[in-house]
Structures are given as C-alpha cells and as structure tokens.
Amino acid sequence: MTIQHAAPAAAHLRNVNKFYGPFQALTNVTLDIPPGKVTCLIGPSGSGKSTLLRCINVLELYDSGEVRIDDQLIGYESPGGKHMAPRRLREMRREIGMVFQQFNLWPHMTALQNVAEGLERVRGLTRAQALTRAREALAKVGLADKENNHPSHLSGGQQQRVAIARAIAMEPRIMLFDEPTSALDPELVGEVLGVMKQLAAEGMTMVVVTHEMGFAAHVADRVVFMERGEIVATGSPREVFDAPSDPRLASFLQGYRERNSLDF
C-alpha cells in the first residue's frame, strides 16, 4: 500500500480542566500519549472520555492547562494565552485523525468522495491525485469495491471503515477513536477492530475510547481508567485488568464482567 504513515506524534496533556457551564467535565487531567502506541481510555459513561479525546483536537476547547501534539501547543497561542488562530488550528487538525461513534460520513457523497473530499479541499491535491489516494485508502480498509456506494447503502461496519479510510487518507500522525464500535451490531464489530489492529501494527499513535475490553486487553499498550472527569488509574493492560489496584477500577471491571460474563 502506498498510504504512508507520517512519523507518529505524541500527545501530552498537562493539568487540563474543562467546564460545561458550572459542571466540570475534566479535572486536572495529566496524561502522556506515547508515539506509535495504542492508548485505550475506559471508564463509565459520562466520566469524560469523549471530552478528553475532543480536547486533543480541540473540538472542545479546554479551559485551562496545556494540550500538546509533540511539542506544539494546540488550542491556545501560549499557555493561558489567546485562542489559537483558526487557520493555525486547522493546520494542526490535519495531523490528527478522528473516528466517531456515529461515523459522521457525509450522506450526500459516495464512499470515494467522502475520502477524497479532505484531500482535495484540505490537502490541496488535484482531483486525480485525490481519487487515487482515496482508492488506496479504501483498499486498505477492504472496501475497494464499494467506492460508489453512498453511506446509506453500506452496513455500519463498512461505514465505519470508510470513516477510518477518510481519516488515514489525510496521513495523520495521531488517530483518535471515540467508541468506534459502539453503534455497531455485534457481528460487525470485528471487521472494524481488525482495521484498527492493522493500524496499530503499522505504528500509528492511537487513542481509543472503548468499551471493548478485549481490544483494550490485547491491543493497547496503555490503558487509562477515568471516572468523574479524572484519571484514576493508568497502566499496562496486565496491570489494569489483572491486578486493578484502585477500588473504583476494580468495581468498574467487576460490573463489566458481570454484564458480559466473559474473560479477557
């Protein structure tokens, strides 16, 4: 495949706080996301996982603290300073791919155009170049034969794979996944996780919010457990799943095991 991965980037969060009105969604979040590794975010619903992820590409602007991609501050011109200029923010976002729970494919475009759109409008490729690269990206997620389908004529798993193709075609240096399989029928989860595993194996920096504990256990390099807007525990999958030191983490995992009654 000719889709190259640009050098994977690290991300660093320092004392990040995020408020929605009076409600504090993130409290003093400090987290280092190492380059070329898979970091999984787990935790109960409403614990701030999506908010944390969206602060990394500033779909939500954090209120205080620092978020850096490699050494580059994102969101503000300087720590505690002015908001970053929109143009500069857009430049940084090109390097950060994002995959959403609801896919968010553009329904009025074919799968191919969904992938080519950013290449043309953002990367400035010619139409021919964009289509070539979009086809490569679709081939990479196993959907070369679906390029002319509109999203409504694709299964959920196929839609999410197109969404991944749309992100990787931009050659991001870090990829954010917000519950990429939560909207899928169980039998379609595997094909999406398969593509993600392949990306991980190629050395992409990945931050994955997930309820797929099996994926976290087997693919993650680090697992981060959040509760009430705070990072409660981090560690290797072994440390987190086999010997949870924090009682809140232990009870979260206990609840998960009872609901799913399977081992990981």
Partner 1 sequence: MFSFQTILDNFPVLLSSARYTLLISVLGCFEGLVLGAVICAGALSSKLWLRRIAALYVSFFRGVPLLIQLLAAYYLLPVIGINVPALVAAVLTVGLCAAAYLSEVLRGSLNAIPKGQAEAAAAIGMAPRDVWVRILLPQALKIGLPAIVNELILLVKASSLVTVVGIVEITRMSQSIAAATYRPLEIYLAAAFIYLAINLVIAQAGRVLERRLTV
Q: Which residues bind ligand ADP (CB under 6 A)?
A: 20, 23, 25, 43, 45-51
Instruction: Tell me: does residue 12 bind partner 1 (CB under 8 A).
Output: no
The distance of closest approach from Cβ of residue 166 to ligand ADP in the complex, given in angstroms and rounded to an integer, is: 22
* Strands 11-20 and 72-73, sheet pairing: unpaired
Identify what 244 binds: ligand ADP, Mg ion, partner 1, none; CB under 5 to 8 Å per kind.
none
List the structure tokens of 67: 């978020």
The residue (of 66 and 178) whose beta carbon lies closer to ligand ADP is 178
- Please, which residues have CB within 8 angstroms of residue 181's CB and are 6 or more apart in sequence? 160, 188, 189, 192, 193, 210, 212
The residue (of 172 and 229) whose beta carbon lies closer to ligand ADP is 229
Find out whether 26 and 229 touch, Cβ atoms under 8 Å: yes
Q: Which of residues 40-59 bind partner 1 (CB under 8 A)?
A: 57, 59
Q: Which of residues 170-189 bind partner 1 (CB under 8 A)?
A: 170
Out of 7, 32, 90, 242, point to the residue binding partner 1 (CB under 8 A).
90
Using the contact rule CB under 8 A, the part of the chain among 30-38, 89-97, 213-221, 236-244 near partner 1 is 89-97
Side by side, the strands of the sheet bearing 38-42 are 96-99, 174-178, 206-209, 38-42, 222-227, 230-235
How far is residue 48's CA from residue 180's CA, in Å, rounded to a whole number?
Answer: 16
The distance of closest approach from Cβ of residue 46 to partner 1 in the complex, given in angstroms and rounded to an integer, is: 18
List the structure tokens of 14: 């320092």
Binding residues for partner 1, total number by CB under 8 A: 29
Cα-Cα end-to-end distance for the chain? 33
List the structure tokens of 68: 């850096």
SS3 (DSSP) at 50: helix
Under DSSP, the state recorded for 205 is: -
Find out whether 26 and 52 touch, Cβ atoms under 8 Å: yes
Out of 32, 91, 185, 242, point to the residue binding partner 1 (CB under 8 A).
91
The residue (of 21 and 247) whose beta carbon lies closer to ligand ADP is 21
How far is residue 119's CA from residue 121's CA, in Å, rounded to a whole number?
Answer: 6
Instruction: Tell me: does residue 242 bind partner 1 (CB under 8 A).
Output: no
The residue (of 51 and 114) whose beta carbon lies closer to ligand ADP is 51
Instruction: Tell me: does residue 94 bind partner 1 (CB under 8 A).
Output: yes
List the structure tokens of 188: 């379609």
Find out whether 255 and 74 touch, Cβ atoms under 8 Å: no
Instruction: Tell me: does residue 217 bind partner 1 (CB under 8 A).
Output: no
- Considering only the C-alpha atoms of the chain, give the largest distance between any 2 of them, rounded to a whole number of Å: 56
Out of 55, 98, 143, 213, point to the residue binding partner 1 (CB under 8 A).
98
The distance of closest approach from Cβ of residue 54 to ligand ADP in the complex, given in angstroms and rounded to an integer, is: 7
Binding region for Mg ion (CB under 5 A): 50
The distance of closest approach from Cβ of residue 212 to ligand ADP in the complex, given in angstroms and rounded to an integer, is: 15
Identify what 121 binds: Mg ion, partner 1, ligand ADP, none; CB under 5 to 8 Å per kind.
partner 1
